[in-house]
Amino acid sequence: MQGNAVVAGVGMTRFGKHLDTGLKALGAEAVQAAVGDAGIALDDLDAAYVGNAAAGLVTGQESIRGQVILRSLGLGRLPVVNVENACASGSTALHQAAAMVTAGFHDCVLVLGVEKLYHADKQKSFAAFSGAVDVEALQEIMTRLRAATAAAAGEKKGEGGAPGEKRSMFMDIYAAAARMHMQRYGTTAEHFAAVSAKNSLHGSLNPRAQFRDAMTVAEVLAAPMIAPPLTRPMCSPIGDGAAAVVVMSSRRARERGIAKPVRVLSSVLRSGWDHAPDEPGTVEVCAQEAYGEAGVGPSDLDLVECHDASAPAEIMAYESLGLCPPGEGGKLVESGATRIGGSVPVNTSGGLLRKGHPVGATGVAQIVEITEQLQGRAGARQVANARIGLAHNGGGNIGSDAAAMCVTILGV
C-alpha cells in the first residue's frame, strides 16, 4: 500500500509499570499529545483505529476497547475500529488508517496503540503471550520448548524456570532461534550482548524509555540466565503504555499548514505461511515489497526501528531487512554501524529491549520515534540529517514464522 497519507502529529506516554493507571488514562495521555502536536481538535478526527492485544485477558475489557478509551475523552460519533493482531496490533492499525486515507475515505484519522501488561497476577501477563500461538497445539509447543531449553541449559537451569511459568514462552522461541543462528553462522553470545548494550545506550537518552541505565557487554553477559543463551537484558520486558499518531491526507496537511509532514512511503502487512527454512519469510517478503513501493533500498535508510523482542531477533532482522548479508548480523552490530552515529542506527529509541514492549502500543511507538527523528526533534539521540526510516513490527508465531508482520517506511 502506497499513497498520500502523512503523519501530522505524534504523542506517547513513558513506557513502564503503571499498575495504578488504567487503559483510559494511558490512552488519553497519548491521544491528547498527538492531537496537540498536530494542532487540531478532537472534533477534526474522521475516524480512529485502536490497536490493543491483551486487554481482555489482563483487564477484562473486551469488544469495545477503543470506544471506552475515546469516550473518556468525550470523543464519540466517529467510526472506531478495534485492531487486534498480537504484537503487530499497533502497526496494523496504522496500516489500516493509512490505507483508508490513501483511498480517500478519510482525511484525518487517529491511530492509537495502548496496552497494560503488568498485573498483580503474573500468570495473566504471561497468558497474553501464550495465546499468540496456535492454542490447539499449545501443549505440543510447550513440551518441545521445555525439552529444547533443558537440553541447552544442561546442569545450569535458567532463572526463569519453565516456559510460560515465570517468563513469556516467546523467550524460549527466540532462544531456540538464537542457538540455531549460532550453530549455523558462528554468531556468539557476545554479539547478542552487544545489541542489548547498544540499545541500553540509546534508551538512556530516551526520557520515555522504561529502562534508562546504560549497560556494558560484560554486564549483559553477567546478568541472570533466562533461556540459554538469553540473559535477562537480552529479553524485552513487558510494559504498560500508549502511543498515538494523527494521519492526514496530503491535502489536509497542506490546508492545516503542517510544518514538516512525514510521508508514509509504504506500509506492507502480511501473515506468515508454511515455507522451507531457507526460503524467504514474512520479514523478507514484507521488506522487499515495502522497498519497491517506496522506491528505496536498504542503503537509503537513515534509521530503523525493529522488533527486538530479544537481542537475537534484532540481529536476524538486520539480515532479513537487507542491512547485511545472511549470517553477518553479528559482525554488523560489532562494527558499530547500528549505533547512533553509525551508518544505519537501529532502535534509537532503545527498542523493545529498553523502551519496553506494551505490545499493542509498540508498533505505534516505532512510528513516533521515526517521525520525531525525521523532523529533527529527537534530542540527545538525534540521527543527523535523517530523511528515511523503516519500522519493522511482528507478532505471534505459527510454525517457524511470525503470525503477523508489518513493515512501514516513512520519509520527508
Same domain for 359 and 274, yes or no, is yes
Helix, strand or coil for residue 39? coil
pTM of the model: 0.94
H and E: helices and strands count for the chain: 15, 11
Half-sphere exposure of 45 (CA within 13 A, CB side): 30
Query: How many domains does the chain divide into?
Result: 2
Cell 521488506 sits at which residue?
Answer: 287
Catalytic residue among 18, 87, 181, 202: 87
- Residue 97 predicted with pLDDT over 80: yes
Quick one: average pLDDT of 49-78? Answer: 96
Same domain for 19 and 127, yes or no, is no
Same domain for 161 and 273, yes or no, is no
pLDDT digits (tens, 9 = 90+) for 277-296: 889 999 999 999 999 999 99
Catalytic residue among 286, 357, 392, 406: 357
Distance of CA 116 to the CA centre of its chain: 15
Same domain for 216 and 264, yes or no, is no
Instruction: Count the neighbouring beta carbons within 10 Å of the beta carbon of residue 328.
Output: 17
370/381 Cα distance (integer angstroms)? 11
Quick one: average pLDDT of 348-369? Answer: 98
- Residue 153 predicted with pLDDT over 80: no
pLDDT digits (tens, 9 = 90+) for 177-207: 999 999 999 999 999 999 999 999 999 999 9
Same domain for 86 and 154, yes or no, is no
Domain boundary among 234, 250, 274: 234
The range of the structural domain enclosing residue 343 comes to: 5-120+238-411
87 is an active site residue: yes
324 is an active site residue: no
Domain boundary among 178, 213, 234: 234
Domain boundary among 234, 258, 281: 234
pLDDT digits (tens, 9 = 90+) for 282-337: 999 999 999 999 999 999 999 999 999 999 999 999 999 999 999 999 999 999 99
- Residue 86 predicted with pLDDT over 60: yes
Predicted local distance difference test score (pLDDT) of residue 261: 94
Strand extents, DSSP E, 296-378: 303-305
Same domain for 272 and 187, yes or no, is no
Same domain for 304 and 351, yes or no, is yes
Same domain for 114 and 128, yes or no, is no
Quick one: average pLDDT of 232-240? Answer: 96
Same domain for 158 and 283, yes or no, is no
Question: Which residues neighbour 295 within 8 Å (Cβ) at sequence distance 6 or greater?
Answer: 265
Confidence of residue 11 (pLDDT cuts 50, 70, 90): very high
Question: Which residues neighbour 140 within 8 Å (Cβ) at sequence distance 6 or greater?
Answer: none
Report the CATH number that the domain containing residue 402 is assigned in CATH: 3.40.47.10
Cell 475489557 sits at which residue?
Answer: 61
